[in-house]
Chains A and B, each alone.
Chain A
Amino acid sequence: MTLEQPYSVRVQTRDDGTLFVNDSLGRVFMLTPAGQWNLYAGYSF
């Protein structure tokens, strides 16, 4: 999918500064303060 997908985004920050952001497909991206990211194993609901 290349088009912009509007969706309801949920963002929650951990006490160490890590951002947990979900995408339109329900996946959760974990963005660390060090600048690295990866897909979190869990899913958002």
Chain B
Amino acid sequence: MSEHIPRRGAVKRMVRRGLALLVMGLLAAGCAAAPQTDTGPRLLAESTLAPTTPPPTVTPSLTPDPLAVPTDAPTATAPSSEVVSPLQAVTAPADVIIVTPTLPPSKTPTRTPTNTVEPTQSPTPTQTVTATATVFLFPTVVSTPVPAQVIMPLPQLCPNAWAYIQPPPAGCPLAPATVGQGVYQTFERGHMIWVQQHDAIYVLYNDGQTPFWTPRGNRGAGSASCGASATPPRCVIASGGRR
């Protein structure tokens, strides 16, 4: 700091402050010396108010009102204190040079280069996988021909053919069929067939037992009889003819 020559306004202000302090001290002493009387207000009852939320306090700000319109007209305001015009300040040349210390310019931080992580070498694939086409092989059906035995009646070649029987029986006939006179007669218990070429009577029994047949030597020696009273005559093969 440099030394200043005290101004005249500042001296006045100090004098006024001293006077004001003196007046206040006198007033305080007078009040303390005054006798106390009972004419003052007395406390009759004591009531307590419920605490309420205090309204928001308005904090005065030092920003000027932008809406305020400056007017050139002088306002009649009572001066609160004496304003000393700066023009009346007496300045005297001095050999003192006021040097305001200024901080040296701070060094601007420079961004230090950080160690960047270099990309590591990625392993190169050594084995290449190649897609191979998959061919599904389905089982082939291999069919081997199996000779099957088919039972089919082959036409038997016989030296003598069946002459009159249809369908032909199995086997072969011994000789060709013979044709001759024949007599057929039905009886109560069977049939009788006379065959001329064999000169025999074939008696076929059908008496409830196992069908049986027997040849007879000649036509007259039959064991069959016919009733003369019956119309038509009833012929019966004697059952005694069975062997």
Contacts and interface: CB of A to CB of B under 8 A. Distances in A.
A10 to B, nearest CB: 5
A14 B226 CA distance: 34
Given A2-B235, A12-B162, A29-B191, A20 B180 contact: no
B178 A12 contact: yes
A14 B213 contact: no
Given A2-B226, A14-B172, A28-B165, A7 B182 contact: yes
A43 B168 CA distance: 9
B232 A35 contact: no
Interface in A20-45: 20-25, 28-31, 35-38, 40-45
Given A12-B178, A29-B204, A4 B183 contact: yes
A4 B185 contact: yes
A2 B185 contact: yes
B195 A9 contact: yes
B193 A23 contact: yes
A11 B178 contact: yes
B226 to A, nearest CB: 7
B182 A15 contact: no
Contacts of B165: 12, 20, 28, 40, 42-44
Interface in B148-178: 162-169, 171-178
Interface residues of B, number: 44
A11 B202 CA distance: 12
Contact of B175 (A13, A36, A37): A13
Nearest to A43: B166
A32 B88 CA distance: 180
Q: Report the 7 A-B pairs with minimum CB-CB distance, sorted nearest first.
A: A9-B182, A12-B177, A37-B213, A44-B164, A23-B184, A24-B184, A4-B183
Interface of A: 1-16, 18-25, 28-31, 35-38, 40-45
17 contacts: A2-B232, A6-B181, A8-B181, A9-B184, A9-B193, A14-B169, A14-B174, A18-B169, A29-B204, A29-B213, A31-B213, A37-B204, A37-B212, A37-B213, A42-B168, A44-B164, A45-B164
Given A13-B173, A14-B174, A29-B213, 10 more contacts: A2-B185, A2-B235, A8-B180, A10-B177, A11-B178, A13-B175, A15-B174, A30-B169, A31-B204, A36-B210
Interface of B: 162-169, 171-187, 191, 193, 195-198, 202, 204, 210-214, 226, 232-235, 243
